[in-house]
């Protein structure tokens, strides 16, 4: 049954803006677009696609999402100045439902130390910013940076001025994760009484004290009807409120929280894996809802209870968040039609050309692994995004052992045909990287390297996630295979392909967190 409109919570996802400001995260256009399409499938109400003034690349990334993603509101962040707002307007102008999100700091320490402005001047700047944004779009959101350390009377004043100027959503950020649930609930109750009934109050909580989700729920209890959050809770410093935790708290404890969202919960796990893979930020095993251990039971007492009745130790089931408990088994005798159906059942929309490419890799994997399960197929599909394949791995061989210098032989398909190279290294992975660099003529700097198993068993698929720098460009890549050296080689080759395609990202401005 649908709850009354007053209990409907709008989910504002800022994974692509605040989440991308996590140290070490730099998404290229195709990666941001891939995540945006998944957020639309997930059913979020608003996608904050980026900070358009940050760089020409960020503006183009937001514009591409605005042009191609349908369903959610698409918004760009802008500081309270003309250049930022005009950039945001250009970025979202082709969106089905465009919004401009503008902000200015309101706490005494921010106004005096950062802005060097008197409160009256801050209010005037807010009014000018909202009016300018309103001249471009009908939907304007105004945020008071560091709201939870601001004077409540001043917040009421500036929010009323912003609404009068044309803002329809008012955001109250806990920018530094300082407040408590009781304080948050009381602040929102106060603001609800101060502002017109048509205004949507929004909460944006950071997790510096581990209270972002609790504070967001408290804000809803106080009157917030939009919550700003990120997939996996990624974001600056300790991160933001976790979207999946909020949504499932509302879903699971309807008796305590009379709120509902439009999020399709079965898409949560897929969204989590995608953001982790593309951002290079792993999800800790004990992470609520989407962590590897979230539905795992090792204790004998727990196992016995779950076998007898799942609800003894599980307050929600895995299928509800997209983690199929039913085993999907494929093998080397499975045909292309069965393979395509398996992908469709897992929620993937793949064109025929991609199916052909994936099916060849599936057959190769099945020959080596035997049975293929749902997580194997997910890893196979998600092991790359649509990067032009200038270089393709055709084969490799490693010679390595105790008291031996590792040697790698690598063969790549290139625009000039197959090319071989042999190289030494301190280890087999470095040797493979050196051989690939010889063939491609490119030598980026490896900045991070992470290995994790993405399926279970002795023949598990391993995923290698790497971060690399090429000049001023930051690139992230992953590779998946049963052999770690092969997975590493595939990830390194994808970096080369990104460089050739010009798909890296160099930032010139970093947005202020709200």
Whole-angstrom distance, CA of residue 156 vs CA of residue 178: 20
What is the token pair recorded at 285? 């095993």
Q: Is 497 exposed, middle or buried (0-12, 13-18, 19+ CB in 10 A)?
A: buried
Q: Is 500 exposed, middle or buried (0-12, 13-18, 19+ CB in 10 A)?
A: middle
C-alpha distance from residue 67 to each of 20, 31, 78, 281 (Å): 20, 15, 19, 28
Where would I find the beta strands (DSSP E) of 62-205?
Answer: 73-79, 98-105, 140-145, 169-174, 200-205
Shortest CA distance to 159 belongs to which of 182, 138, 142? Answer: 142
Tell whether 302 is in a known binding site. no
Tell whether 476 is in a known binding site. no
What is the token pair recorded at 468? 């690399």
What is the token pair recorded at 300? 């004998």
Angle (CA) 382 361 265, round 5°: 25
Whole-angstrom distance, CA of residue 162 vs CA of residue 32: 31
Using left for φ > 0, alpha for ψ between -120 and 50, and beta otherwise, residue 403 falls in left
Say whether 421 sits in a helix, a strand or coil: strand
Whole-angstrom distance, CA of residue 219 vs CA of residue 242: 15
Long-range contacts of 423-427 (CB under 8 A, 24+ apart): 427/400
Tell whether 204 is in a known binding site. yes
Sheet hosting strand 407-414, strand order edge to edge: 392-399, 407-414, 417-424
Where would I find the beta strands (DSSP E) of 109-222?
Answer: 140-145, 169-174, 200-205
Residues 6+ apart with CB under 8 A from 416: none
| Beta pairing, strands 46-50 & 10-13 | parallel
Tell whether 232 is in a known binding site. no
Whole-angstrom distance, CA of residue 133 vs CA of residue 104: 14
For the annotated binding site for Mn(2+), the residues are: 18, 204, 206, 240
């Amino acid at each position: 049954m649908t709850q009354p409109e007053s209990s409907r919570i709008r989910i504002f996802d800022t994974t692509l803006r605040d989440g991308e400001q996590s140290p070490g995260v730099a998404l290229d256009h195709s990666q941001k677009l891939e995540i945006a399409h998944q957020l639309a499938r997930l059913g979020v109400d608003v996608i904050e696609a980026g900070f358009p003034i940050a760089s020409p690349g960020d503006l183009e990334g937001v514009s591409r999402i605005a042009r191609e993603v349908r369903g959610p509101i698409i918004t760009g962040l802008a500081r309270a100045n003309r250049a930022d707002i005009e950039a945001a307007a250009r970025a979202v102008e082709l969106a089905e439902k465009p919004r401009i999100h503008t902000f200015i700091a309101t706490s005494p320490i921010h106004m005096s130390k950062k802005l060097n402005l008197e409160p009256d001047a801050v209010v005037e700047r807010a009014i000018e910013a909202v009016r300018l944004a309103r001249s471009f779009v009908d939907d304007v959101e105004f945020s008071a940076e560091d709201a939870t350390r601001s004077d409540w009377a001043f917040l009421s004043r500036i929010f009323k001025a912003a609404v009068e100027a044309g803002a329809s959503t008012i955001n109250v950020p806990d920018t530094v994760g300082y407040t408590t649930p009781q304080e948050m609930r009381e602040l929102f109750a106060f603001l609800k009484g101060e502002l017109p009934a048509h205004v949507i109050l929004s909460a944006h909580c950071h997790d510096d004290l581990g209270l972002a989700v609790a504070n967001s729920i408290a804000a809803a209890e106080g009157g917030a009807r939009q919550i700003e959050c990120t997939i996996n809770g990624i974001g600056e410093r300790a991160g933001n409120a976790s979207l999946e935790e909020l949504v499932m708290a509302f879903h699971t404890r309807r008796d305590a929280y009379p709120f509902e969202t439009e999020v399709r919960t079965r898409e949560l796990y897929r969204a989590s894996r995608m953001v982790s893979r593309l951002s290079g930020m792993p999800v800790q095993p004990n992470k609520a809802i989407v962590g590897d251990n979230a539905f795992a039971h090792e204790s004998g007492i727990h196992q016995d209870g779950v076998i007898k009745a799942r609800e003894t130790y599980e307050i929600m089931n895995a299928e509800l968040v997209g983690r199929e408990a039913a085993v999907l088994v494929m093998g080397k005798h499975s045909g292309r039609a069965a393979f395509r159906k398996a992908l469709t059942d897992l929620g993937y929309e793949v064109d025929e050309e991609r199916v052909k490419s994936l099916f060849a890799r599936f057959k190769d994997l099945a020959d080596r692994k035997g049975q293929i399960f749902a997580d194997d197929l997910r890893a196979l599909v998600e092991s790359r995004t649509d990067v032009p394949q200038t270089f393709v791995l055709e084969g490799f061989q490693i010679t390595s052992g105790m008291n031996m210098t590792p040697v790698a032989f690598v063969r790549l398909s290139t625009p000039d045909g197959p090319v071989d190279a042999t190289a030494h290294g301190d280890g087999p992975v470095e040797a493979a990287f050196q051989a690939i660099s010889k063939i491609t003529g490119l030598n980026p700097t490896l900045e991070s390297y992470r290995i994790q198993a993405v399926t279970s068993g002795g023949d598990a698929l391993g995923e290698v996630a790497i971060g690399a720098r090429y000049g001023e460009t930051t690139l992230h890549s992953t590779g998946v295979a049963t052999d770690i050296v092969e997975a590493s080689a595939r990830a390194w080759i994808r970096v080369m392909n990104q460089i050739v395609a010009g798909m890296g990202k160099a930032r010139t401005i970093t947005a202020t967190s709200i």
